[in-house]
Structure 1
Amino acid sequence: MSYKVINVPEGSKVPAPPPKTWSNFKVHKNGHFYVAGMVADGSSTYEQARKIFTDIQDLIEAAGGAMNDIMAMQIFVIDLDENHDIWRARQEFFSGDFPCSTLIQVSRVGSPKAVPPTRIEINCCGYLGGSETN
């Protein structure tokens, strides 16, 4: 497979994962991209979601794309009752159609040592330049 690992695209503000651990962002030569394991600090689900969407936007834009290039998204939360906070944050980053999306409740996300606790983790994929509103 021909892809390039873009842990932190040039010009991105997103911190890189520790060396030789994982990749948060990969782009195939055809423009298909994957973003995985995105978590953030914040005292509420809304704050964490907003920071994660900001980081995802920064990664995709640094690689030449736009948020509307995202086709599918998986959102892992520790409390499904906080979905309104996630949708509120998501609406700040997308125009037109939202990506296909799955919301999954899990017992824990991120590091168990995080203070405050990590409440949400997001994965997504799409094609750079694939949106009509790009």
Structure 2
Amino acid sequence: MSFRRVTSPLAPEPAPGMWSNCLVAGNVAYISGMTARSAANAEQVSGDNEYEQARLVFGKIRGLVEAAGGTMSDIVKLTIFVTRIANRDQIWKARQEFFSGDFPACSLVEVRSLAKPDIYLEIEGVAHLGGKSA
């Protein structure tokens, strides 16, 4: 099966050859783990807490899924990695600002650390472009 690479200015691509932020195979978009690294400077982290970082990350995911031709309601699965699971309510608050109705399937996993000490979460997703219904 062929696939196409999708980009968005909200989620700048890593250095060539590292990975793709979003690949679409058929009508499924696979979105790599997004963090709160700044779009302007990958070394800078935006957001001082899980809520602020989650809002930025969900915005990046929205930018990618829309660039792929979908909407946030097309996202069927999220995997959220957190370093401080006790603050998950801040992530849920942000998630409610980007999703409504049937929320996507979701896994929440606490990890010891992420790429930088001030990154508190990383979110990856899968979207079925064209809607959730079969």
CA contact 2:10–2:63 (8 Å) conserved in 1: yes
For residues 3 and 49 of structure 1, the distance between their equivalents in structure 2, rounded to whole angstroms, comes to: 28
1:49 maps to a residue whose letter is A
Taking the aligned partners of 1:71 and 1:13, their CA distance within structure 2 comes to 21
3-state SS of the aligned residue for 1:92?
helix
Give 2:5's aligned residue: 5
Summarize deviations over 1:57-108 as a string: whole Å, max 9, x none. Answer: 0111122100010111100000110110000000000121100001100001
- What's the C-alpha RMSD, in Å, of the aligned pairs? 1.4
The residue number in structure 1 matching 2:28 is: 32
| Distance in 2 of aligned mates of 1:86 and 1:54 | 13
After TM superposition, give the deviation of residue 17 of structure 1 in Å: 1.4
Give how far 1:36 is off: 1.3
Q: How far did residue 111 of structure 1 move?
A: 3.2
Counterpart of 1:33 in 2: which secondary structure?
strand
Superposition map of 1:81-100 within 5 A: 81-100=86-105
Q: Which amino acid letter does the alignment assign opposite residue 85 of structure 1?
A: Q
Query: Normalising by the residue count of structure 2, what TM-score does the alignment of the two structures yield?
Result: 0.86
Distance, in Å, in 1 between the alignment partners of 2:64 and 2:115 is: 19
CA contact (8 A) 1:109 1:119 kept: yes
1:55 has 2:60 as partner: yes
Q: 1:110 Cα shift?
A: 2.4
The list of structure 1 runs, each at least 4 consecutive aligned residues, that deviate by more than 4 angstroms after superposition, is: none
| Unaligned runs of at least 5 residues, structure 2 | 37-45
Unaligned runs of 5+ in 1: none
Distance across 1 between alignment mates of 2:97 and 2:64: 17
Give the 3-state SS of the residue equivalent to 2:92 in structure 1.
Answer: helix
Aligned residues: 124
1:95-110 to 2 correspondences below 5 Å:
95-110=100-115
Q: Secondary structure at the match of 1:74?
A: strand
**Percent of aligned pairs with the same amino acid:** 44
In structure 1, the partner of 2:43 is none
Secondary structure of the structure 2 residue equivalent to 1:73:
strand
